[in-house]
Chains A and B, each alone.
Chain A
Amino acid sequence: MDFSVFLQPAFSGGGTYLDWVLSGIKWTLWVSILAWIIAFTVGSVLGVMRTTRLAILHVPATVYVEVFRNIPLLVQMFIWYFVLPEIVPKGMGDWLKNGMPMPEFWNAVLCLGFYTASRVAEQVRSGIQSIPRGQTEAGLAMGLTRPQVYRHVLLPMGYRIVIPPLTSEFLTIFKNSSVALTIGVLELTAQARQISEYTFRTFEAFTIATVVYVLITLTVTVAMRALEKKVRVPGYIGSAGK
């Protein structure tokens, strides 16, 4: 078990193997954070849409969530990367294949973002639906319009309730970013695999990757616990449903 392999210069140039690991970490973080931004915004909008009574908002959101939740992430990645450029109009398809910078990266970000948005939508929906109906009715009785009820009454409570499940979704995005290796993004797991193939030090390479993932999880969990403590509403223990 020889961890000094990471200080050896890489076979194909470009610094030591440790630099490969750091590059992998960088790509994992970029993919995950950008995907989370998409997931959080799109998912919140969808979650709110699913709680309304208007069919014109309710139905597309439900269709979206069902479609994106029932197709495996790997299949979705392939469809974004391989199928999408073929089925859009020719000009856009050509740009996607040739002109776009870093196509693997952006496809991974978009795919992961929209996939996780469907999960975030479910969490936000269950958070809003766990608030007693009396709150909505009191808001309406006081003369607030429905959008105002959402903005001032439901969403502030809803988000505080779902912080624990949303934390778990945020961690899941970091883990799901590893699926991007199938379309060529050289994130952490891909780099670990490459290092193991160049140096045959499989144990060390995978150990480093595992340690990094565990550290990311620990850091996020600790940070989220601190955030939860700050925004906790007295009297509401724990999260809302699944």
Chain B
Amino acid sequence: MFSGFDFDVIERALPYMGQGMLFTLGLTLLSMLGGIVLGTVLALMRLSSFKVLNVPAGGYVNLLRSTPLILVIFWFYFLVPIAMKKISGDAYATGIGPFYSALIAFTMFEAAYYCEIMRAGIQSVPRGQVHAAYALGLTYGQAMVKVILPQAFRNMVPILLTQGIILFQDTSLVYVVGLTDFMGAASKVAQRDGRLVEMYLFAALIYFLFCYSASHLVKRLQLRYGSGR
């Protein structure tokens, strides 16, 4: 079947692939953090009774959840330099580089999904907690920060982490704007050395190992710390 499967090309390429993996991990973690923060803010906006907060947040979330990630990457890749030109007033500003455009794209995209997760999390906290907090004289802000959000986060940790694993897989799509993440590195080596089979199968294997172990860890975490449902 494999006449001359070349393990050597994988071995020689490992440092370069390592850089790509660092890129992927960095993009994943930063987008996750940004997405969770922004997503929580959006969730609070969607749950508020002020229409001026409710409606735009809902519109944003629905818009980003209906659009493919590749298109969102293209949008931000195209829009961020224009925004930089407007902000800095310099007609020839080149923007902040493709990595940051991709980071912004992923953060904004994931925020929509994290918003839905956090909204479910906040709604899963028993209403009695809210009433008790108000009865003790806490303001809305204090009730949220000290009582509701901590419980919501604890309930949602497995789902947040699972969404993080999905994000890890989705970062491979920065390939379409030429960024060198793990998949991009594998692809470049493959095209340079003419070894498509070995490199793509190796990339698939690494992604599989990472994601499989990560989802197993999440499952174990869920079993051990799961708030009994």
Instruction: Answer yes or no: do A and B interact.
Output: yes
Q: Given A70-B212, A75-B207, A83-B200, answer yes or no on A213-B176 (Cβ-Cβ < 8 Å).
A: no
Q: Given A87-B2, A178-B71, answer yes or no on A74-B66 (Cβ-Cβ < 8 Å).
A: no
Residue of A nearest to B190 (CB): A82
Q: Given A87-B1, A181-B176, answer yes or no on A70-B68 (Cβ-Cβ < 8 Å).
A: no
Q: Given A87-B1, A214-B63, answer yes or no on A179-B173 (Cβ-Cβ < 8 Å).
A: yes
B74 on the interface (CB 8 Å rule)? yes
Flag if A178 contacts B196 (CB, 8 Å): no
A241 to chain B, nearest CB (A): 10
Residue of A nearest to B66 (CB): A217
Flag if A86 contacts B197 (CB, 8 Å): yes
Among A45-53, A136-144, A202-210, the one that faces the other chain is: A202-210
Flag if B196 contacts A213 (CB, 8 Å): no
Contacts of A217 in B (CB 8 A): 65-66
Contacts of A182 in B (CB 8 A): 175-176
Contacts of A178 in B (CB 8 A): 68-71
Q: Give chain B's interface residues, CB within 8 Å of chain A.
A: 1-2, 63, 65-71, 74-75, 78, 159, 169-170, 172-173, 175-176, 183, 187, 196-197, 200-201, 203-204, 207-208, 211-212, 215
Flag if B211 contacts A70 (CB, 8 Å): yes
Q: Given A189-B68, A202-B78, answer yes or no on A66-B212 (Cβ-Cβ < 8 Å).
A: yes
Q: For window 184-213 of chain A, which residues contact chain B by CB distance below 8 Å?
A: 189, 192-193, 196, 202-203, 206, 209-210, 213
Q: Given A79-B204, A82-B200, A206-B71, answer yes or no on A72-B172 (Cβ-Cβ < 8 Å).
A: yes
In Å, the complex CA distance between A196 and B77 comes to 13
Flag if B78 contacts A206 (CB, 8 Å): yes
A167 to chain B, nearest CB (A): 13
B109 to chain A, nearest CB (A): 11
14 CB contacts below 8 A, A to B, read: A70-B208, A70-B211, A70-B212, A71-B211, A72-B183, A79-B200, A79-B201, A87-B197, A171-B66, A178-B71, A189-B74, A192-B71, A210-B71, A218-B66
Contacts of B176 in A (CB 8 A): 181-182
From A74, A202, A213, A216, contact of B173 by CB (8 A) = A74
In Å, the complex CA distance between A216 and B215 comes to 32
From A71, A174, A213, contact of B204 by CB (8 A) = A71
A67 on the interface (CB 8 Å rule)? yes
The 3 closest A-B pairs by CB, nearest first: A70-B211, A217-B66, A178-B68
A208 to chain B, nearest CB (A): 11
Flag if B70 contacts A71 (CB, 8 Å): no
